[in-house]
């Protein structure tokens, strides 16, 4: 990949970074710069990023040419709305409070250079802020009230820095640009890079630790350099060729933003943002399946204006679902009107629409795994003991799960597989788990999961390591197709 630093007057600066060229803004904005090719990384260090300034147009044209530019126009626009920046930072409030402490007094001001700071104790918060707001140089101000609050975040330019700070900028820029080229001792360097997104603090992740290790091995066997990343590695996404999400997804959190960012950067992404959007909202799924003639339990949309309409259509008992619940959370069985009224108080706080679904008691649910338009595993998930769901979340915090059985594709009813394929065809060609109930030899789609469980010892019982290899081989094929 070509790497260039764009400034108004590059002759004034003494950047000495291997395999990186200094280019004037005038030269970059000329037609000849468009011949650099799409595999070009642009560091825009122009004096201003204001709308219609030279720096603004460098980023704008870089994106039009397919170059990977820092900062992006969307980031430049974000800084026009300081209140939105503070709101975004609030999403990571716990991490910020953990990074900062009383030794910083009541006011803290520092600079972040490409995610790096010159104070080691601020390294974590510097990385976090750069991940959220990817601008080369950031001036950060925190104030201590009841807790630490982001009081100011401003992009700076190289002209705002004194000589010592410019030396720091060059050092940290060199680290930033060379990061992908680091070769660990005794590890072969491969051509392509894969990031696997995980949440180490999730008590119920989509893949257990053993499965993640199997994914890593399968990825390396097909030619990926592989790294486990978390939401705090947002800024590193551009350094990879593919992103594999093994964290519970939701449109309203970082998983969706990371998927969109990765897809926009040209990475192969599983789960892709379209699949996340379609699968994580049960209101959408219910309408999609129904409108395409796929068997589902009787269902109705529950609104604040007329919640009893669902009762009239389905009758008690029925299942009430939050649109974006996962792992049996946000799903309640409603026995009568009193229970319904009580549940609606909490459910409507998170969404103005809910889903009511006919209660279809069965001893187990089928789960059919579909990847790249093909079935590759089938499981029976049995209900937890003395409970109507697969997972029983106790008020005490304890979790009980039913047993599971895994089957070869050839050993299950063909109609089951046909139903799962028909449902996922409406979503995309990614990785899905279709939950299906079997009643009187008919198959009813409960939901389609974009981020299904793939745990060592359960879903891989039949295919063994082949399950992991199948996914990684396809991801590699898709990466090569993009080249």
Give 38-58 pLDDT, tens digit per residue.
778 899 999 888 877 888 888
> Which has more confidence, 434 or 181?
434
Percentages helix, strand, coil for the chain (3-state, rounded to 5) are 40, 25, 35
> Which has more confidence, 65 or 194?
194
Residue 448 near residue 292 (C-beta atoms within 8 A): no
Which pLDDT does position 395 carry in this prediction? 61
Which pLDDT does position 100 carry in this prediction? 86
Domain boundary among 333, 359, 385: 359
Is 397 among the domain residues?
no
Which pLDDT does position 183 carry in this prediction? 32
Is 409 among the domain residues?
no
Mean pLDDT on 382-411: 81
Mean pLDDT on 419-426: 97
> Which has more confidence, 99 or 323?
99
Q: Is the pLDDT of residue 314 over 60?
A: yes
Candidates 376, 372, 396, 394; CA nearest to 385 is: 394
Looking at the structure, tell me whether residues 92 and 173 fall in a common domain.
yes
Which pLDDT does position 187 carry in this prediction? 38
Looking at the structure, tell me whether residues 110 and 66 fall in a common domain.
no
Domain boundary among 142, 157, 180: 180
Which pLDDT does position 31 carry in this prediction? 59
Is 257 among the domain residues?
yes
Is 345 among the domain residues?
yes
Summary mean pLDDT of the chain: 86
Mean pLDDT on 161-170: 91
Candidates 179, 177, 215, 207; CA nearest to 476 is: 215
Mean pLDDT on 21-26: 88
Residue 238 near residue 196 (C-beta atoms within 8 A): no
> Which has more confidence, 124 or 420?
420
Which pLDDT does position 184 carry in this prediction? 32
Which pLDDT does position 180 carry in this prediction? 43
Domain boundary among 359, 380, 399: 359
Q: Which two tokens stand for residue 109?
A: 């001001």
Total H helices, total E strands in the chain: 15, 22
Using the CB atoms, write b or e for 144-159: b if 16+ within 10 Å. beeebebbebebbbbe
Which pLDDT does position 323 carry in this prediction? 67
Report the distance separating Cα 461 and Cα 81, nearest Å. Answer: 51
Q: Is the pLDDT of residue 238 over 80?
A: yes
Which pLDDT does position 102 carry in this prediction? 66
Is 465 among the domain residues?
no
Side-chain half-sphere CA neighbours of 219 within 13 A: 23
Which pLDDT does position 182 carry in this prediction? 31
Measured in residues, the chain has a length of 483
Which pLDDT does position 362 carry in this prediction? 92
Looking at the structure, tell me whether residues 155 and 91 fall in a common domain.
yes
Report the distance separating Cα 286 and Cα 357, nearest Å. Answer: 9
Helix intervals (H) in 235-391: 254-264, 273-279, 282-291, 308-314, 337-350
Domain of 231 in residue numbering reads as 185-272+471-482
Which pLDDT does position 106 carry in this prediction? 87
Report the distance separating Cα 202 and Cα 204, nearest Å. Answer: 5
Is 385 among the domain residues?
no
List the single range of 52-56, 298-302, 310-314, 347-351 with lowest mean pLDDT.
347-351
Looking at the structure, tell me whether residues 219 and 258 fall in a common domain.
yes
The side-by-side arrangement of strands in the sheet containing 137-144 is 107-113, 137-144, 148-156
Looking at the structure, tell me whether residues 176 and 88 fall in a common domain.
yes
Q: Is the pLDDT of residue 377 over 90?
A: yes
Candidates 48, 56, 53; CA nearest to 74 is: 56
Q: 325 pLDDT band (50/70/90 cuts)? A: low
Looking at the structure, tell me whether residues 157 and 194 fall in a common domain.
no
Cα angle for residues 144, 150, 156 (degrees, 5° grid): 125
Express as a percent the part of the chain with pLDDT over 90.
42
Which pLDDT does position 418 carry in this prediction? 98
Ranked by mean pLDDT, which of 249-258, 281-290, 348-357, 394-403 comes out on top?
Answer: 249-258
Q: Is the pLDDT of residue 33 over 70?
A: no
Q: CB 272: neighbour CB atoms within 10 A?
A: 23
List the single range of 24-33, 221-230, 364-373 with lowest mean pLDDT.
24-33
């Amino acid at each position: 990949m070509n790497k260039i630093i764009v400034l108004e007057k590059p002759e004034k600066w003494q950047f000495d970074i291997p395999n990186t060229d200094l280019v004037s803004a005038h030269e970059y904005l000329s037609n000849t710069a468009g011949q650099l090719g799409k595999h070009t990384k642009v560091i825009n260090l122009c004096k201003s990023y204001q709308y219609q300034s030279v720096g603004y147009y460098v980023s704008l044209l870089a994106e039009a040419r397919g170059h990977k530019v820092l900062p992006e126009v969307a980031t430049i626009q974000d800084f026009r709305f300081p209140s939105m920046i503070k709101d975004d930072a609030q999403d990571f409030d716990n991490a910020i409070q953990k990074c900062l402490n009383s030794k910083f007094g009541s006011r803290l001001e520092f600079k972040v250079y490409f995610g790096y700071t010159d104070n080691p104790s601020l390294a974590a918060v510097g990385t976090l802020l750069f991940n959220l707001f990817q601008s080369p140089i950031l001036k950060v101000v925190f104030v201590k009230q009841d807790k630490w609050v982001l009081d100011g975040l401003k992009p700076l330019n190289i002209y705002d820095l004194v000589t010592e700070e410019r030396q720091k900028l060059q050092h940290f820029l060199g680290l930033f640009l060379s990061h992908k080229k680091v070769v660990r001792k005794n590890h072969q360097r491969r051509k392509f890079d894969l990031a696997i997104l995980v949440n180490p603090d999730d008590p119920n992740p989509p893949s257990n630790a053993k499965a993640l290790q199997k994914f890593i091995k399968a990825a390396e066997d097909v030619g990926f350099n592989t790294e486990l990343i978390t939401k705090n590695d947002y800024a590193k996404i551009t350094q990879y060729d593919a992103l594999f999400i093994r964290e519970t997804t939701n449109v309203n959190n970082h998983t969706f933003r990371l998927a969109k960012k990765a897809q926009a950067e040209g990475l192969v992404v599983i789960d892709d943002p379209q699949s996340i959007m379609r699968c994580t909202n049960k209101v959408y799924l219910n309408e999609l399946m129904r409108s395409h003639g796929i068997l589902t339990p009787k269902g109705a949309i529950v609104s604040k204006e007329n919640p009893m309409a669902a009762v009239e259509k389905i009758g008690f008992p029925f299942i009430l679902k939050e649109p974006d619940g996962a792992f049996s959370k946000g799903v309640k069985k409603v026995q009568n009107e009193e229970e319904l009224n009580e549940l609606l108080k909490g459910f409507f706080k998170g969404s103005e629409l809910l889903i009511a679904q006919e209660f279809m008691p069965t001893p187990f649910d089928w789960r059919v795994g579909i990847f790249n338009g093909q079935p590759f595993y089938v499981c029976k998930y049995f209900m937890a003991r003395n409970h109507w769901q697969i997972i029983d979340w106790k008020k005490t915090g304890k979790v009980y799960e039913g047993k599971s059985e895994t089957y070869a594709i050839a050993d299950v009813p063909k109609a089951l597989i046909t139903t799962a394929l028909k449902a996922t065809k409406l979503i995309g060609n990614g990785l899905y788990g279709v939950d299906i109930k079997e009643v009187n030899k008919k198959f009813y789609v409960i939901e389609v999961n974009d981020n299904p469980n793939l745990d060592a010892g359960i879903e891989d019982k039949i295919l063994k390591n082949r399950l992991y290899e199948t996914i990684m081989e396809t991801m590699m094929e898709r990466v090569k197709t993009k080249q």
